[in-house]
Each structure stands twice: as structure tokens, then as C-alpha cells.
Amino acid sequence: MPIEIQLPALSSDMESASLTVWHKQVGDQVTQGDVIAEIETDKATLEIEAADSGTLGSILVAAGTDEVSVGTVLALLLKAGEGVESLADHETKAKQLSAGPVTDGTSEYQVSEQDKDFDVVLVGGGPGGYVAAIRAAQLGMSTALVEREHLGGICLNWGCIPTKALLRSAEVYEQFKHAESYGLSATNIAFDLDKIVARSRGIAKQLNGGVGHLLKKNKVKVYDGRAELLGGHRLRIEQQDDDSVELSADHIILATGARPRNLPGLEADGELIWTSREAMTPSCLPKSLLVMGAGAIGIEFASFYNSMGVDVTVVEVLPQILPVEDAEIAEFASKSFTKQGIKLMTQTRVKELRKGSDQVTAVLEHQGELQELKVDRVISAVGVVGNHENLGLENTQVVVERNHVVVDEWSQTAEPGVYAIGDLSGAPCLAHKASHEGIICIEKIVGQADIEPLDKGAIPGCTYSRPQIASVGLTETAAKDHGFAVRVGRFPFQGNGKAIALGETEGLVKTVFDANTGELLGAHMVGAEVTEMIQGFGIAQTLETTEKELMHTVFPHPTLSEMMHEAVLDAYDKVVHF
């Protein structure tokens, strides 16, 4: 008789687990003590070791199966001399199980019945969807989440996090180049691109698993598949195994995110013309690179590839790089990037991309004049469009304008019970905006008191280039355009002791105040670690802090944050250290 490999109780309170991965496949030889599979509980990821030796004859529970009860037979192990014919009885039981759940409570293959009706269903498992799902579950709602590809969405898997891992490698590499200035010695400095990319992908994988754990811990039912709205609070899910299921829910929240925009005639092909996904996983470095678009995404990739030794040119159709940033900060960053060797071309349009066998010729137009630039690769970073297609919106009253779903201040669409959050509902396309929208949407649905709509004007924006750029609120120009009389403060990094000690003296902190009321209208920074400091000004805006309160706040010494204090003082002619 084959040996049954059952799900063991690996702790005193363990009742079930998710089977996440098989390390052995049918036909593999198994030695007693081998790790054959991994399971995940609410508390930990655990390994299952083989109690006997033999040949793995049959796997009865597939990897990715949730809520497997302790004692369930996971696989069958053939002892020496046994043939596959001895598996027949056990496999018959498995087939009987797949036809429907056993309800007498006695079968060794029993699985629990799943409830397919929910209070709320989230469509999309990115930073908007999964955060909203967890908050809904915390508030007592029966919750399901549908994700067609990766938990964590583009941000975690192909955006925010893995790009920061790449940029961190570039930052460390740059520090090695200047080791001597710190009294250190480093010779034969080099890098391994494959390992840099592998580290980035490994971090994304780790966090993807973490999201799955959080959803399981909060008892959110996850469906792997594509959702389609049917109208009337119903939706169909086409699952990965080609099976489909229909669900009903009082509330359906669309959080399907966005994808890179393709310009007509300049479409990415994944080979010579890259989107951010291909730019994140290069098999080798191009010698030359053209980046179309000087927003945060384009500038981050330009910064990474320049640090790795690539000849980088950035083209932007608008008059300044980083168009949403304060003009003074953008100009400061522009000079820094130029000094590093990045070529910046503003008020320039890419008219044509002519692809060769392994190069691209870009036809560029600047003030009516055309020129050609030959490069090895092109990165298209010209914005994003919402993923609104194939969602069944035609079965609803949901309105789509300019590739985004139209919503009110609470993320409600024109269809009762259907909501949209994150990139799908429009700018700013930021992960933290999506998460916060999701929480507000859920708390509004359950009727929590004291909630307020999201103030999109108070959402911090960050660019993780070298140097970093961070901002919140109105730029100086926007504040004046809104009719404010302003007081502006500035403080340079070169006047800060901590910045000098770090060897990071290139940077600027700028504050914009209402001259009449002392309200902080905006704050803008460029320099080392400013993405970690901007939240201080964000809190100040949320609390409606005045210049007087900021002046009387004690900032620790020595820190980079002291520059925030000095920039406030400078706006009122009280700066001390410059």
C-alpha cells in the first residue's frame, strides 16, 4: 500500500494551512527527512519533511490550495517495488472529492465549503485593493478579492518596490566610487547586473508572499482570475484553471490599476522599445538609452542607468523635467543630472522611432527643428492609462472619461454599489493615494463617523533618483496662481552639519507660506533622503500648522530634518545657519 503523506499539525493550535509549493514532483525519489512541500499558516511559513523514503507517486492537493485541513492526504509515496497500479484506490477517492465536497465529516479528503456571497468584493490586489480588503475584513465585512496576476499589483511587483531595489544598488555602487573621500579604500569596483536584477525580483517576491499572508490572516477570500461585472451587484470570475464562478456582493470596488501609456507610432515592443517592466529586468546593459518622458518614472530609470555607465538622454515635451514639481526644485535637479552626464532635452517631441536590428533611430523635434539620435534602447515613460477594459462596465452605468473611471469624492461611480479607487480613478497615480482611497471608501460604506474625503492636494510625491525629489502641496507658481500672497523660505544642504558629515551637500529645502495667515501651502525638496523627510511637512499640512508652530517645534541635532526648520525660519527672515 502506498504511504499517505498527510498535512501534519505543526503547532498545537493549527487546524488548517495553505499548501504553497511542492519541492518534489511525481516520479521524484524521496529520502526520509527531505523537504517535500511548504505550507503557510496565519503565523508562519513551514516545511513538510518526508517521514519515509520512496518514489512520489501522486500529488492529491495542488500548490496554491487554501484552507487544507490537518490530516488531509496531500500525496502518495510508493515504497520500493510498488507500481503505479497500487495508487488506483486512493486516486479514485481524490476524483470523488473533486466532484463535490464530502459532508459526512468522515473522509480523509474532506475540504470545507466556501461561501460565495460577500459584503464586498475587491477587483484588483494592488495597494488599493488589498489594503481596502484588509480594512473591510477588520470592520467585520465578509470580503473577497480577485487578482488576475500578482498580489501587490504593479507597485509591489513591477513598480515602486523593485525599482527602489535597483536604485539602492546604484546608490551603493556610486558610494563605492567615492570611497576615498570617506577615508576608505575600494579597488576593482564592479557590479553584476544579473545579481542586481535578481535581488530586485527577490524582494518583490518576498513582499508578494507577505500580502498573501496578510489577506489570509484577515480571512479575505482570494480568487485567482479575471472579474467581469454582470450588473445588479453580480460579477463573474474566470479563474486560472478555466473554471468560472459567479459572486454577488453588496459592494464591488474596482482597483484594477493602470498600465504604461503607448503613444501612436511609438509603441513599446518589449525588445528595442521598453516599458518599465522590461527596463526593470534587463539581461544586459545597453550602451546608449533614450528615455521618453521626464516624470518620476523616466527620471528614476535615467538615474539608475546613468549610474551603471549607460549614455542616457531624456526627452520631455514640456518646458521642464519633473513637470509637476516646483520650477526651482526641478531646475536644481536638472543641473545635478546634467553634471552627472545625463542629457536632458525639454520642449522636445519624439516624432518617430525607426527600429533596426539592434538599435533605434529617434527623430526628435525641438522648436520646429528635427534631429536624429541613434540609441541601443528606448524606455517609454509617458504616463499611464487606467485598466478599464474587459471589466463588464457596459453592463453598468459606470462612466469612463480619458481612460479613467469617473467617481465622486467617496469613490462612488454612477452605478449604485460600484466604486473605483487608485490609478483607475485618475491622478495622482500613486500607491499611497490608492491605499488611502481604499480605506476611506470602506469606512464610508460602513458608515464610520468623522471620515473626510481625500485631499488630493496634500498627497506627497517622491522621485527616488540621485538626488531625490519630494514635495507636498502647492508649488510657488501654483500658490500665486491661486491668488495667494506668499512668503518663501529656502535652506541649502551645504549649510547643514549632518549633510556635510554624510558627504551629501547638494540639495535644497523650500517652503511656501500664505503671507496673510501663516498657512503652509507647500514644501519642496531636492537632495539626499528627502523622500523620508517630506512626511513631516505632510503632517504639518494635515494639522493645519502655522509658521509659528513650526518655528517653535524643536528639531533634533544633528539631522537633515533641521533644514526643514531653517527653511521655515528663512521664510520669515529668521534663518540662523545660512
3-state secondary structure of 369: strand
d(CA 570, CA 558): 19
d(CA 191, CA 170): 9
CA triple 281-284-286, angle to 5 deg? 105
Establish how many alpha carbons lie within 13 A of residue 494's alpha carbon, considering only the half-sphere containing its beta carbon: 1
Peptide bond into 558 cis (omega under 30): yes
3-state secondary structure of 305: helix
Annotated catalytic, 565? no
Given a contact cutoff of 8 angstroms between Cβ atoms, the answer to whether 328 and 304 are in contact is no
d(CA 522, CA 454): 17
Grid coordinates given for 499: 549633510
d(CA 419, CA 410): 8
- 477's enclosing H/E stretch is helix 476-481
d(CA 532, CA 513): 22
Which value, in Å, is the radius of gyration of the alpha carbons in the chain? 28
Residue with cell 523635434: 365
Given a contact cutoff of 8 angstroms between Cβ atoms, the answer to whether 67 and 61 are in contact is no
Given a contact cutoff of 8 angstroms between Cβ atoms, the answer to whether 504 and 493 are in contact is yes
Given a contact cutoff of 8 angstroms between Cβ atoms, the answer to whether 52 and 32 are in contact is yes
> Considering 178, 366, 557, 577, which one is annotated as catalytic?
557
- 539's enclosing H/E stretch is helix 530-542
d(CA 60, CA 6): 10
Given a contact cutoff of 8 angstroms between Cβ atoms, the answer to whether 310 and 287 are in contact is yes
Q: Which residues are known catalytic residues?
A: 557
